Amino acid sequence: MNSASANGTFRCCIAGGGPAGIMLGYLLARTGVEVVVLEKHNDFLRDFRGDTIHPSTMEVLQQLGLLQNFLQRPHTRLEIARVRFGEKHYTIADFSTLQVTCPYVAFMPQWDFLDFMSQAAQRYPNFTLRMNTEATGLIEVDGKVVGVNVSTAQGSEQLHADLVVGADGRHSILRTASGLHVQNIGASMDVLWMRLDKGESSDEAVFARMTAGRILVTIDRGDYWQCAYVLPKGHYEELKSRGMTGFRSNIAKVAPALKDQLHTLKDWDDISLLSVRVDRLEQWWRPGLLFIGDAAHAMSPVGGVGINLAIQDAVAAANALVPPIRLGQMDNGILTAIQKRREPATQKTQSMQVLIQNRLLRKVIDGAVAPPLPMRLLNAIPCLRRYPARAIGLGIQPEQVAIGRYFVDASGG
């Protein structure tokens, strides 16, 4: 842990050491802003929550001069996304068409990415990362947020900051404490995440497998498949009541080539339920407080874009915050501008996700025997495949780091 502030007062205090919080912490630290990131866990090693590093994130790393080192870490690459429906393959996205430094989606455990970014940030003496430190509430004076209450193994304390950023994810405590209104957009499905050893199986690398009534996402992670089984919202207990044998046979039906590996699913502890939710704050800020990432807008797993949006939020926030925060001139206009910049992309992405989950995926899990029309079109007309690649790989509003404008190398090197 670096220590930037002896008296518990920072320019910026970020609650949450996920992709949004760590990236924002790094971006502020590199411009000399005294920033603390609070992470309630002791390390970045915890449940699977997406391993995708998008081309737009790698563009950001390139702009920061971090890409080469980052790509030294073990990862796999996806250039073409194929889906298998029954016996037939459908190509649905071609990332190699993107005009970017890394025209592919990289798969790397999220903890590796967070570890990489936090190590890079800790080169700056004005960056503090406090693990095992949970933000438990807001400190307010005359309606303005001026800090957070935190809980640590040593007890409670108060941290003060010119700006508090809630990057504490979809179950954000600070969001609840803020009293800001959350708009629930709804989700019609849930997802079960699990690992399947590859064993001797030499099944082809397809991104998802579908058959009437069943969808299994299969992300190739080298020696195992990271799998997501899609089910109608609220049906988990019913599925569970039919037993593990019934569940294994569901998977075998949608992915026959994986049936010899299903013994690795021993009991329900090997499976995590992601209760899908799609929501967003109507207003992303209050005086002295800003929300970004999942804390501002929980995303559906459709398209695997939550991490991308979280990072793009961090970049946009840093671009807007650095000059005023360094001068101690934070005001509500800046927070409004950040929301205005990021909200349209969030809204459009969530609308697309809801459309795909309700109109396309739901039809398949309800028993449609033919692949959805867009899948057939993308497969038949290759030039269309750049559009999903762009939406997933870059997002609707890719952000550029404001290189050079405010940069001071606070590390002195």
Ligand X SMILES: Cc1cc2nc3c(=O)[nH]c(=O)nc-3n(C[C@H](O)[C@H](O)[C@H](O)COP(=O)(O)OP(=O)(O)OC[C@H]3O[C@@H](n4cnc5c(N)ncnc54)[C@H](O)[C@@H]3O)c2cc1C
In whole angstroms, the minimum distance from the beta carbon of 239 to ligand X comes to 17
Residue 41 as a binder of ligand X (CB under 6 A): the answer is: yes
Nearer to ligand X, 32 or 316 (CB): 316
Q: Which position among 94, 190, 294, 399 is part of the footprint of ligand X (CB under 6 A)?
A: 294
Residue 166 as a binder of ligand X (CB under 6 A): the answer is: no
Residues facing residue 134 across a β-bridge:
151
- Per-residue interface string for the shown chain with ligand X, residues 310-329, x marking contact by CB under 6 A: x-------------------
Nearer to ligand X, 32 or 83 (CB): 83
How many residues make contact with ligand X (CB under 6 A)?
A: 35
In whole angstroms, the minimum distance from the beta carbon of 382 to ligand X comes to 25
Q: Which position among 58, 117, 129, 135 is part of the footprint of ligand X (CB under 6 A)?
A: 135
Q: Which position among 10, 35, 36, 40 is part of the footprint of ligand X (CB under 6 A)?
A: 40
Residue 48 as a binder of ligand X (CB under 6 A): the answer is: yes
Nearer to ligand X, 292 or 402 (CB): 292
Nearer to ligand X, 160 or 259 (CB): 160
In whole angstroms, the minimum distance from the beta carbon of 381 to ligand X comes to 26
Nearer to ligand X, 219 or 335 (CB): 219
In whole angstroms, the minimum distance from the beta carbon of 391 to ligand X comes to 12
- Per-residue interface string for the shown chain with ligand X, residues 193-212, x marking contact by CB under 6 A: x-------------------
Q: State the Cα–Cα distance between residues 173 and 310, nearest whole angstrom.
A: 17
Nearer to ligand X, 64 or 295 (CB): 295
Residues of this chain, 16-35, that bind ligand X according to CB under 6 A: 16-21
